[in-house]
Chain A
């Protein structure tokens, strides 16, 4: 990595070429030969670049006092497992990977320690070493190598850049700065922080053959002895890493040579930045944020370059988890202060401060500068975040200070964002309705079975109600409270037919209760109410904080929470566990699989080949909603399928020995998968339906046990997913590609999956090159979904509530104090989100909506489908009708008006652009009639359609209610679209008419008129 960075700095290689190289291997056909040559020599190291970069950034920022949780918690409570800390369990590396920032507490210890340590650790003059006693040494070298170039002004900054004067040439001649690997830099105990976050574990024989893997991730960290060698020795990485070390050493050699070459040309070291002194730890002023000042940024070029490389890696999806990186960047943006752990080292030798060995982030200013740089590159993603996050970002004073331009864009994005605030009440728990067709005596083998099931249904709901009442009580335990009752009930299910009845009930109830985000315990999105902006600025923070506390359900586990069963899902999980019934589980898996297959085949009603884009929109709201319902159902079902299917194999730990693992693998590899998810994935990819298939597949896989990713079958799935992940480059926006938000959803869920504890850490970085790439059907697949904007922001956040962590982070920053206890600990017991929207809608409208919902509850499902179908068709036809009648009439009017106007205008020499305006101002008000006419149309057409489609025997009351509901829905659909679009529609049509007429009149004025019209419309 160092060498790569170096090449970059020497401008032998452009960033783009380097990223291409990292992404796709050396043979970059596009790049020039020189670049290729420069990079090909480094080929063996290619794969380590990204993990190394990520580790490096984490390492570099380890002195930052962050706010927010020391997340992401891949393995919760992993802080104890950090390799650098005494007593860490042997598998510490895994925990470490999940850690963005070290916990605050040891940091403050470090902050207070320097004075005591000072004496023993002084170095020779000119050798302030910034090594943290752990790995990134090589990285620092790499970074250090660049400095001479800056000093040589090969990459000039804008004049007046304050950092320029302070550019820090490296002290390249110093062996101590670039010690041979394995030598212990004396007294580098300043930091007690672990460095490794991404931590490939050599899992299997074949993988450990891929030598480079170990090289950059593990060894740099572990081979460089830290301040507590004994602890390091006991770490699992202490052995068997020689290969890695060796290759590292090779690199260092290369570096050293390179440096000595440069040294001859490089000017003398400049003065150190005066900065570091300011970062002395203050023990008072607990966590008040240090102000960040763009003028105090040290080594801008270096930061810019790293930010660019980093951003490019993010953009190319070379990082496992996009949102995790964003979270990290926002933590840098909102860093409270830096712990000046190194001040002791720096003080004695001010002359070399800021040398290449100096850390990337020397101060909060550096952190913020870097963060803002990266954010600038990630604007496209940022602009898709929810309105609340955008607002917080746009209001962030640091961001404004460092990049007014970015702030402006964010503000614009915020203002343009059509936030979908979902305060919809989650429906109260409803029972699955009794349907005589499936539930009456005729469906049972005997009277006894029928009556047993009758009782079971009642016991099931009794248990459910008791759970609802009591599960939040402290000390209440599901198994103790309900276990025996559940097992007694399950014991009565003897006949297989009864099992299938019960499973159907269970699954339906699961879908009913957990599908809505509220039921899943999801967060409510949206921005802070506008009241806040009305209030004074000082109160704002407090109010925000309060709102955060109220609105946020206990902070989820950071940006990468482990799979969980929030809200009502916990009931179903615990029910399955307590029932402990093999038959039940089998029936449940069968049923879930079938339903998943069924829903996975979801087909969007074919959008008609609409001549004009406007009209297709009529159908979009409904279809998006439909898609969202199907997707959320699939995710829920797949999660439970994964849970039950892998339940017998789940354990907290992977098998302890290779032998054991191999025998388990041998056993497991002959077990057929519960559902052929690979085939479904392949189909999904081929048919451009990844946006539907992948999110549920991720849920399924997230509950897999440790062995699963090693099984050939699932390995190939992961391989496909990795290819997909890599291919979802957000900035690419070619035709027929996936829509932006669709991609973003997939990136988010895949990124999350790659952080799941059971997914091997190295999987992301190692798995590559297997070119069994899926062939996407090039011909447009009929039922493709990827190219259809089916995902909206609301769905994105519903599926990935952890994206909301970004907002929380920013909100805590606003609130001014992250608290001693680590930021997110809330002192007020947070109320659940449901209580926010609690007062149920008792308005007439709300009640009518509830009644309409309830109406379908006890009716056969086909009734609902029919009504919705009618409403959707009539609503769509209504818009067509309005276009054909009202709008067409208006256009006729426009044409005749225009003719008149033209006659008069010829004489006056008026402006055709104005003409259009005049016409529109006359005609557009007539658009209001569209609503009346639309309403009439729907009222007239819907009832007949419903009547024709429902069975003859439908009771009159049911029929008339169905008709009314269909009318209401059709009107709603049509009028929503019409009121939003009619003016634009009329305008467009009139404009077209005007240009037609004008063109007929003569070419010159027509062109003018059109141009003006266009610019205004």
Chain B
């Protein structure tokens, strides 16, 4: 799914106005029927994350935290089973998982002598049954389950998808008989930066030499691509030469502008591969 910048902007524009719910996603699919669900979901998620990043600070002022905590206490005081926290998050337009984290932190501050560490919070979010307060545990659980962009569940899903695509890529490489070193092997050899795969023998994709392949199970928008370029892709180039990035859920066409320089973008495993000593596609 390679989108032009204009197409992408249209989708992103559309997302600004809707809340981050499954219903919104469904509507989006109707609006852009030609786009795959995965692409739309990825864009949806990225846009939402941008939105949250923009508003993050305002939810973390001590006044805001205090007011959220009081509303939570008030809410559960009335009805502990009602989705108080989830509704609060939706009402103030903040990610439920993050709202749960704010309240949990505030709660622990009140009930423990020492301020809770990040890892403690994370493990409690991952497994709410460990939370000492049953009502809060339930509220947190409702939040993490209903959040489609943040939270341990989403992280887990994302990780799984990422891994799945790496496996997919590995299988394709093996199938094409292209030998490679994977990340773990590279780390063992002491490489300081490690793409998913380094090809032991470079190939040409669409006429461009590539030495490495990085798999990204997401949509390549400007924001994430630039971050990746800076932190990963150029670093790979700096060490191993030109390479290929596969954004399995597509990318903005205009970002594929570094081909001559040595960063090639694709939305799928390439078909036009020329190997050393062979004119046509893989042996």
Contacts and interface: CB of A to CB of B under 8 A. Distances in A.
Contacts of A961: 201, 276-277
A965 interface: yes
Contacts of B240: 431, 433-434, 857-858
A858 B276 contact: no
B234 A461 contact: yes
B204 to A, nearest CB: 5
A956 B192 contact: no
Nearest to A457: B238
Contacts of A964: 276-277
A860 to B, nearest CB: 12
A852 B260 CA distance: 18
A440 B189 contact: yes
A428 B262 contact: yes
B179 interface: yes
A855 B199 CA distance: 10
Interface string B173-214: 000001100000000011111000010111110010101000
Interface string B257-282: 00011100000000000111101000
B interface secondary structure, majority: mixed
Q: Which of B200, B207, B274 has the most CB of A within 10 A?
A: B200
Nearest to A962: B201
A174 interface: no
A855 B201 contact: yes
A848 interface: yes
Interface in A760-787: none
A858 B237 contact: no
A472 to B, nearest CB: 16
Contacts of A458: 234-235, 238
B179 A847 contact: no
B204 A431 contact: no
B5 interface: no
A862 interface: no
B239 interface: yes
Interface in B227-242: 234-235, 237-241
Contacts of B260: 428
Contacts of B209: 850-851, 854
A465 B263 CA distance: 13
Contacts of B261: 428-429, 465
A911 interface: no
A957 B174 CA distance: 12
Contact of B211 (A847, A854, A957): A854
Contacts of B192: 434, 439-441, 450-451, 454
Nearest to A967: B277
B237 A461 contact: yes
Contacts of B204: 847, 850-851
B230 to A, nearest CB: 8
Interface string B141-178: 00000000000000000000000000000000000001
A interface secondary structure, majority: helix
B261 to A, nearest CB: 7
A958 B191 contact: no
Contacts of A1015: none
Interface in B213-249: 234-235, 237-241
Nearest to A453: B192
Nearest to A842: B207
Contacts of A436: 189-191
Contacts of B189: 436, 440
A965 B202 CA distance: 13
Given A440-B191, A961-B277, A434 B239 contact: yes
B191 A854 contact: no
B239 A847 contact: no
A844 interface: yes
A851 B203 contact: yes
A858 B191 contact: no
Q: Classify chain B: how many residues form its interface, as a range.
A: 20 to 34
Contacts of B274: 844, 847-848, 851
Given A428-B262, A857-B211, A433 B241 contact: yes
A442 B261 CA distance: 31
Q: Which of B201, B234, B240, B260 has the most CB of A within 10 A?
A: B201
B190 A441 contact: yes
Contacts of B239: 431, 433-434, 457
Nearest to A459: B238
A284 interface: no
Contacts of A441: 190, 192
Contacts of A957: 178-179, 200-201
Nearest to B198: A858
Interface in A568-612: none
B238 A956 contact: no
A440 B192 CA distance: 7
A958 B190 contact: no
A915 B160 CA distance: 83
A509 to B, nearest CB: 10
Interface in A821-855: 840, 842, 844, 847-848, 850-852, 854-855
B276 A434 contact: no
Nearest to A964: B277
Contact of A854 (B179, B193, B207, B241): B241
A460 B235 CA distance: 11
A29 interface: no
Contacts of B276: 848, 851-852, 855, 961, 964-965
Nearest to A963: B277
A837 B232 CA distance: 32
A562 B198 CA distance: 45
A852 B202 CA distance: 9
A955 B190 contact: no
A462 interface: yes
Contacts of B200: 955, 957-958
A858 B234 contact: no
A857 B277 CA distance: 17
B234 A462 contact: yes
A450 B201 CA distance: 27
A430 B209 CA distance: 12
A8 B240 CA distance: 70
A857 B202 contact: yes
A70 B21 CA distance: 76
Nearest to B181: A955
Contact of A442 (B190, B201, B235, B241): B190
Interface in B66-101: none
Contacts of A433: 239-241
Nearest to B276: A851
Nearest to B193: A454
A430 B241 contact: yes
A848 B191 contact: no
A469 to B, nearest CB: 10
Interface string A846-879: 0110111011011000000000000000000000
B277 to A, nearest CB: 4
Q: Which of B192, B200, B235 has the most CB of A within 10 A?
A: B192
Contacts of B202: 851, 854-855, 857-858
A507 to B, nearest CB: 16
Nearest to B262: A428
A964 B275 CA distance: 12
A241 to B, nearest CB: 61
26 contacts: A428-B261, A431-B240, A433-B240, A436-B189, A436-B190, A440-B190, A440-B191, A440-B192, A441-B192, A442-B190, A450-B192, A451-B192, A460-B238, A461-B234, A847-B204, A848-B277, A851-B203, A851-B275, A854-B202, A854-B209, A857-B211, A955-B200, A957-B178, A958-B179, A964-B277, A965-B276
Given A434-B191, A847-B274, 4 more contacts: A440-B189, A454-B192, A855-B201, A857-B211
8 closest Cβ contacts across the A-B interface? A440-B190, A957-B179, A434-B239, A854-B202, A964-B277, A461-B238, A454-B192, A851-B276
Interface of B: 178-179, 189-193, 198, 200-204, 207, 209, 211, 234-235, 237-241, 260-262, 274-277, 279
